[in-house]
Amino acid sequence: MTKADIVNEVAKNTGIEKVTVQKAVEAFMETVKDSLVDGKNVYLRGFGSFVVKKRAEKTARNISKNTTIIIPSHNIPSFKPAKTFISEVKKQVK
């Protein structure tokens, strides 16, 4: 499902114009992104959590050049679904 599909589905289910729904979806995604950039986690009860995880510094190998490189510690965004979300998805698997 793409962002356009989500906009169409929400517009169909709520009766709100697609343009308004698209602005709301874009604003939601921008707000989540800005919060994570600022180091703030986003918690949506019953859906899940968008969290910032810190990756530790590690040593890696560049196989083609046969050299060792150090990857510095960095933050990455992550999503952890809520337990109710997980249980609903598991019910659908056959």
Q: Tens digits of per-residue pLDDT, 6-63? A: 999 999 999 999 999 999 999 999 999 999 999 999 999 999 999 999 999 999 998 8
Q: Residue 28 is part of a domain; what is its CATH number?
A: 4.10.520.10
Question: Cα dihedral sign for 31, 33, 35, 37?
Answer: negative
Mean pLDDT of 59-80: 93
Number of domains in the chain: 1
Q: What pLDDT score does 91 carry?
A: 86
For the cut 90, the answer to whether the pLDDT of residue 94 exceeds it is no
Domain that holds residue 7: 3-92
Query: Does the predicted model carry a pTM greater than 0.85?
Result: no
Q: What pLDDT score does 93 carry?
A: 59
Q: How many CB atoms lie within 10 A of CB 75?
A: 12
